[in-house]
Amino acid sequence: MSDKMNLTRAQFDEVMVPNYAPAAIIPVRGEGSRVWDQQGNEYIDFAGGIAVNCLGHCHPALVEALKTQGEKLWHLSNVMTNEPALELATRLVNATFAERVYFANSGAEANEAALKLARRYALDNYGEDKTEIIAFDKAFHGRTFFTVSVGGQAAYSDGFGPKPQAITHLPYNDVAALEAAVSDKTCAIMLEPLQGEGGIINATPEFLKAVRALADKHNALVIFDEVQTGVGRTGELYAYMGTDVVPDILTTAKALGGGFPIAAMLTTAKIAAHLKVGTHGSTYGGNPLACAIGNAVMKVVNTPEVLDGVKRREQLLRDGLNRINDKYHVFSEIRGAGLLLGAVLNEKYQGRSRDFLNASVAEGLLSLMAGANVVRFAPSLVIPEADIAEGLERFERAVAKVAAA
């Protein structure tokens, strides 16, 4: 085998497990909000690696952090701590409600830690009968067996044998259903403050207040999964900051590393005390490379310029999508917050979000789906306004083609 391989999309089917169905193109280079494929074709990125590339591709601050730390220290394990991890944990504590941080590698791992902590906290304080986790239909919390079972999409959790027990799923935003379900056996209520994979659905203020009040009444913990909404995505550093509710546990990943794998679970000192030495762990959690990049992300994102800019860019994107819809009448609404927006397909175009995605790629735009009926957009938080305008022009051409088909 030569060092130089002729790599094609066809090789995916020959060497990879078939649980993904990637696009025909293979991107090879990115800069800012643009990427180029093997053939040199250019695309504007409205997908952001599914809300991961919060500062676009190859942001200078992140590249510099990787290079600098890469020449110092790569890995130690948690037998020892390291300076980048201590710095990032301190930044997260100073910027949020949290007093303690646990590092992991992915959103699923952070959510796994959150769920285990909630169960352990309940067991230690209230006994072995307090195990129920309440979650919500259409939720997505990761792909470990515990998190995928808590997520409210049976299609992802069925077919792997007996599931973890004491998990109740309720309709999202349904206060009456929540009031009827929460009891003294409930140890935690877990939710996304804005559902991502479920279709970009905003929580109502009344629903979030009910979650907090009922959890307090029954000595349960509130877990906010901010894997997708966190690190500036909604125009707040974390989405909870734009609500009247503060969670007991918060999970963050995706944008925290700007494209480098890292995640964290944030909580209070009182709750964190129940994960004593040996109760949970991660080989790579708190890795110096990952944390150095996480620090660089936080330095850039957690500023008024970037967070205010998210809200300005949201309005540009919303206005543009509404203008397109005024012409082609394909969407019933534009929902979401900040730069996590969903264009909901109307009755005529039900089930066709992939058609819009594929047509967009053909026009030089990368977008996403959030189920079969929602086209999802999660671009860089610092995407140039000129790229938003150009991306919308390309999307309009894609919409026109689907509408004419």
**Is there a binding annotation on residue 157?**
no
254 is catalytic: yes
d(CA 248, CA 140): 19
Residue of 140, 207, 224, 395 marked catalytic: 140
Residue of 46, 146, 225, 387 marked catalytic: 225
For 362, residues 6+ apart whose C-beta sits below 8 A from its C-beta are: 398, 401
Dihedral, 314, 315, 319, 325 alpha carbons, nearest 10: 40
> First CA to last CA across the chain, in angstroms?
45
**Is there a binding annotation on residue 140?**
yes
Instruction: Count other C-beta atoms under 10 Å from residue 328's C-beta.
Output: 14
224 is catalytic: no
Q: Estimate the crossing angle of helix 385-404 against helix 304-328, to 10 degrees.
A: 20
d(CA 59, CA 30): 10
How far lies 388's CA from each of 139, 203, 271, 314, 401, in Å? 29, 27, 43, 10, 20
CA-based max dimension of the chain: 65
d(CA 281, CA 269): 18
- CA angle, corner 388, sides to 382 and 394, nearest 5? 145
Please report the beta strands in 70-205, taking only residues with DSSP state E, as ranges in sequence order: 100-104, 132-136, 167-170, 186-191, 194-195, 201-202
d(CA 371, CA 79): 42
**Is there a binding annotation on residue 106?**
no
Q: Which two tokens stand for residue 174?
A: 């349904």
- Across the beta sheet with 42-45, the strand order is 27-31, 34-37, 42-45, 365-366
**Is there a binding annotation on residue 108?**
yes
**Is there a binding annotation on residue 260?**
no
H helix or E strand, kind and range, residue 334: strand 331-337
Residue of 103, 254, 260, 356 marked catalytic: 254
Residues recorded for the chain: 405
**Is there a binding annotation on residue 96?**
no
**Is there a binding annotation on residue 225?**
yes
**Is there a binding annotation on residue 81?**
no
- Binding-site residues for pyridoxal 5'-phosphate: 107-108, 140, 225-228, 283
- Binding-site residues: 107-108, 140, 143, 225-228, 282-283
Catalytic residues: 140, 225, 254
